[in-house]
Amino acid sequence: MRRLIPALLLICAAALAQRGPGASTRDFIRTDAPVLALTHVRVIDGSGGAVLEDQTLVIQNGKIAAVGPAATTAVPRGAQAMELRGYTLLPGMVGMHDHMFFPMGGNPPQYSNMPISFTRLYLAAGVTTIRTAGSVQPYEDLELKKLIDAGKMIGPKMHVTAPYLEGPGSFTPVMHTLSDADDARQMVAYWADQGATSFKAYMNITHAELAAAVDEAHKRGLKVTGHLCSIGFKEAAEIGIDDLEHGWVVDTEFSADKKPDLCNEATARTGRVTLDIASQPVQDTIKFLVEKKVAVTSTLPVFEAGVANAPTGQPQRPLLQQRVLDVMDPEARARYLAARARVPADSPSLALLKKEMQFERDFVKAGGLLLAGLDPTGNGGVVAGFGDQRELELLVEAGFTPLEAIRIATLNGATFLGEQNSIGSLAIGKQADIIVVKGSPDQNIADIEKTEIVFKDGIGYDSDKLIRSVQGTVGTR
């Protein structure tokens, strides 16, 4: 018997460990009451409309059952009530360039999935839906999605993008090299069958390959985006691409030595420094993209991370936030700090960031659909979730009002995904994907960093607990 007890304990422990993901998700849930009323709270509905003061929002069966003035909106009998004076509700963010992977350093550069930390950090920061915008471990991304949908792991709702569609000459070996247009078509067909719902063309793809990929994807009702270089924006719009990642700051079509199907980013970058966004050629491209209904995904944090350190004593950009450094493992932290320090003081990165901001403003003014993401790659300073919050702050710096920036990061993404009837804004009948923020992000967008609870389909997760559970792990898992 004395020998039996430890053995039994071991078996029980193993059984518990097997229940692991399912059991531990409970630890992060603040509330999953079947009927919940959030009372006396400010509401930003995500449509761009004015903030509503002193509201009550009722969640029932994972959906928004009622929202209106606290004075006239009844709290249903038996509902759990949560009084939230001093708090603001906004829709869960729809992150459109939200990879599951992170840079691992090395030469040539390596990238790996962060399946534990990134899933939690996205949700903790208020990102309830992501498009992965390119995958380096596609089978894992698809399985993560299944686990999250089944409630066995915590994370955002995932729209998995297939592996990159890239031609010869890639700077990283994490991408398949396409051999021709037929290969591109087959790749789209294969990953669509596996469950990918979008595709990402990359810097060295040829015109013929992109055309084949777009054709195959559109036949299946799926969309293609691109971080392009070998193909200019107008050329891609002509082919029928649906979305362009990063914006003008990667467009090569204005480069003097642009040759068909070839990427020469170095020359293009030099040309960009002197190119005026207000000039006719850039404005013509904006007009053409809007006409062709091509969206643009803003990813300002990854460009901000490439800006040189300011001299000691001056305000630093990018902000070196302790909460971001704390979730990194020591190696990732050291890699990022070293990369930051290496940016030459005379780098044009800051000027280019400002021009990109102007491009995004002009694109929206012209009627374009701007989407938001973070792109957790670059020099390793952009981390899931925190980067999405930073994107909101940078959109405001770009000249959008906080309410416009919130709409770009919520309803615009939902609209692009075709899910605007179920997510992206706070309205009766929509899924209860809601961020609970202490403060007033409509007045001070940085209040988004004071996110305390994030509801996904009506289940409220504790942001702080989620963040604390992944301290020191980004760069490892």
Binding site for Zn ion (CB under 5 A): 375
Name the minimum Å distance from CB 135 to Zn ion: 11
Name the minimum Å distance from CB 360 to Zn ion: 17
Closest CB to Zn ion among residues 243, 375: 375
**Smallest Cα–Cα separation from 282: which of 249, 325, 307?**
249
Closest CB to Zn ion among residues 360, 375: 375
3-state secondary structure of 111: strand
Name the minimum Å distance from CB 68 to Zn ion: 40
Name the minimum Å distance from CB 308 to Zn ion: 22
Q: CB atoms < 10 A from the CB of 444, how many? A: 13
Closest CB to Zn ion among residues 375, 404: 375
* Cβ-contact 232, 289 below 8 angstroms: no
Q: Is the dihedral of CA 236, 241, 242, 243 positive or negative?
A: negative
Closest CB to Zn ion among residues 362, 375: 375
The Cα-based distances of 93 to 67, 103, 188, 371, 406 in angstroms read 19, 23, 27, 11, 8
Measured between alpha carbons, how far is 113 from 97 in angstroms, rounded to an integer? 15
Closest CB to Zn ion among residues 87, 233: 233
Closest CB to Zn ion among residues 307, 374: 374
Measured between alpha carbons, how far is 372 from 391 in angstroms, rounded to an integer? 7
* Cβ-contact 472, 329 below 8 angstroms: yes
Closest CB to Zn ion among residues 245, 433: 245
Longest distance between any two alpha carbons in the chain, whole Å = 86
Which residues touch 167 (CB under 8 Å, ≥6 apart)?
177, 178, 202, 204, 205, 206, 209, 230, 261
Say which amino acid occupies 72: T
* Cβ-contact 369, 412 below 8 angstroms: yes
Name the minimum Å distance from CB 362 to Zn ion: 23
On the CB side of 121, CA atoms within 13 Å amount to 31
52-63: b or e for each residue (b if 16 or more CB lie within 10 Å)? beebbbbbbebb
Name the minimum Å distance from CB 90 to Zn ion: 25
Name the minimum Å distance from CB 156 to Zn ion: 17
Name the minimum Å distance from CB 199 to Zn ion: 13
Closest CB to Zn ion among residues 360, 462: 360
Name the minimum Å distance from CB 106 to Zn ion: 17
